[in-house]
Amino acid sequence: MKKIFALVAAVIVLVTVFQVTGKKHKKADTGKSPEIKSVYVVSPLSADMTESVELTGSIVPRSEVAVSAEMSGRVVYRVGDEGTKVSAGQVILRLDDSALRAQLSTASAAVSAAEARLAALKSGARSQERLQTENGVRQSQAAFDNARQNYERVKSLFKQGAMAEQQLDAARSQYLAAEAQLSSAKAQLSMVGEGARREDIRAAEAGVSQARGSVAMIRVQLGYTVLRAPVSGIISDCTIEKGEMALPGSPLMKITEERNLYFEARVPEMAFTKMKPGQSAGITVDALPGKTISGRVTDLVPVADAKTRSFMVRISLQNNSVKAGMFARARVGVSTHCATICVPRDAVRETGGRKYVTCIENGKVRKMEVHTGIEQGSRLEVMGVSTGAVIAAVGQDDLVDGQKVKVLEGEAF
């Protein structure tokens, strides 16, 4: 029991000794001067700063045209498969035109017949027809003269009682018939001399126009059997094979332009309001690492997408080394501030919504509130300091105003 009490007393003594020793050490530490921290400093620069908008999009062709047929027909010729280069106006498809060519031959013959009929009507009767008609008139005149003389003779004899009334009637009938025959012959001669009626000529002219219209229509349909490339480019899609039946309005081929390529992207409305046609841009594609393609904003579509509330932007490319469909990124310069003050981005700190830089004056800390502007790379535009200031760029955290620091030269930015 005595041993236990002795052990407890020894422990209490040791604890007391350690506590006293610790307090002495603390007093000794608080008596030392605070440590001087080292900071790396730079001077603000005066430089031109450009605000940029970064976009993500794709390389697209200016035009991509779908080729379709105007009429149905069997394909007898196709220029090639996907990837084939074609020129504007080049024949890319032909449809079977044998039936139309047969119709054209028949319609052309109908035109010739209608034109011949019209020419005959306009030229009038031939000389042989006129001579024959004149002979007919003379014969009718002779027959009329004979019939009239016979009628006069019979009528005289009838008055004398030498002829029966029936003979008189017969002579009178022959006379009237001869008179009618003479009138008809004269009328026929008059018609031959005057030519065809104007109504007949107009009808013949209409027949010629109708026949020619049929020929023109068939020629138009023959033109539909030949399909030509509307633009120069490559065949990017083909849905028809040789021997298959093409249907009107159905897309048969798609031709994509190779040269007039654009970068196309959608941007939020805040960035869209800063963009204008003509602004320069730099475009990069993953397929061409390390290469930047120059471009210029050409199209700003002022209608937002209903779902994303974003706007379409197109940038023309000044280099054709890219291909349609490639993924790309663009940086568009939207505004430039000339000879403005800038500091390293990491030199600016923010506390409670207020931004500041840590200036070093005579080896002591002085925090200065600033306003920031354009950010370009590692630089940040600031308002509130001058180029003659000394700004802490590294090691400025946890410093307070008036605190002494050791100044080291920072790296250029």
Q: Is there a single domain that holds both residue 307 and residue 373?
A: no
Instruction: Give residue-wise pLDDT tens across range 293-320.
Output: 999 999 999 999 988 899 999 999 987 7
What residues are paired with 153 via a beta bridge? none
Instruction: Give residue-wise pLDDT tens across range 100-109.
Output: 999 999 999 9
CATH number, domain with residue 392: 2.40.420.20
Per-residue confidence (pLDDT) for residue 124, from 0 to 100: 57
**269 and 301 Cβ atoms separated by less than 8 Å:** no
**175 and 101 Cβ atoms separated by less than 8 Å:** no
Q: Is there a single domain that holds both residue 263 and residue 251?
A: no
Burial string for 351-373 (b: 16+ CB within 10 Å, else e) reads eeeebbbbbbeeeebbbeebebb
DSSP 273-323: TT--TT-EEEEEETTSTT--EEEEEEEEE----TTT-EEEEEEEES---S-
CATH number, domain with residue 56: 2.40.30.170
Identify whether 12 is part of a domain: no
pTM value is 0.54
Q: Is there a single domain that holds both residue 382 and residue 394?
A: yes
Identify whether 399 is part of a domain: yes
Q: Is there a single domain that holds both residue 251 and residue 343?
A: no
Predicted confidence (pLDDT) at residue 55 exceeds the cutoff of 90: yes
CA-closest candidate to residue 71, choices 220, 213, 214, 212? 220
How many domains, in total, are found in the chain? 4
Per-residue confidence (pLDDT) for residue 391, from 0 to 100: 93
Q: Is there a single domain that holds both residue 168 and residue 195?
A: yes
Predicted confidence (pLDDT) at residue 261 exceeds the cutoff of 50: yes
Beta-carbon contacts of 385 under 8 Å, excluding residues fewer than 6 positions away, are 44, 341, 343, 357, 359, 368, 370, 391
CATH number, domain with residue 234: 2.40.50.100
Q: Is there a single domain that holds both residue 232 and residue 208?
A: no
Identify whether 11 is part of a domain: no
Per-residue confidence (pLDDT) for residue 128, from 0 to 100: 62
Identify whether 29 is part of a domain: no
Identify whether 143 is part of a domain: yes
Q: How far apart are CA 326 and CA 319, in angstroms?
A: 14
Instruction: Give residue-wise pLDDT tens across range 108-145.
Output: 999 998 888 888 777 655 556 666 777 777 888 888 88
Instruction: Give residue-wise pLDDT tens across range 328-383.
Output: 999 998 888 999 999 999 999 998 889 999 999 999 999 999 999 998 888 999 99
**275 and 320 Cβ atoms separated by less than 8 Å:** no
Per-residue confidence (pLDDT) for residue 191, from 0 to 100: 63
Per-residue confidence (pLDDT) for residue 276, from 0 to 100: 93
pLDDT category of residue 197 using cuts at 50, 70 and 90: low
Q: Is there a single domain that holds both residue 136 and residue 279?
A: no
CATH number, domain with residue 211: 1.10.287.470
Q: Is there a single domain that holds both residue 110 and residue 214?
A: yes
Q: Is there a single domain that holds both residue 112 and residue 56?
A: no
Last residue of a domain, one of 318, 335, 352: 335
Q: Is there a single domain that holds both residue 215 and residue 73?
A: no
Q: How far apart are CA 314 and CA 312, in angstroms?
A: 7
Q: Is there a single domain that holds both residue 43 and residue 136?
A: no
User: Residue 199: how many CA atoms within 13 Å on its side-chain side?
Assistant: 0
What number of other Cβ atoms are within 10 A of residue 42's Cβ? 19
Q: Is there a single domain that holds both residue 320 and residue 239?
A: no
Expressed as residue numbers, the domain containing 107 is 103-220
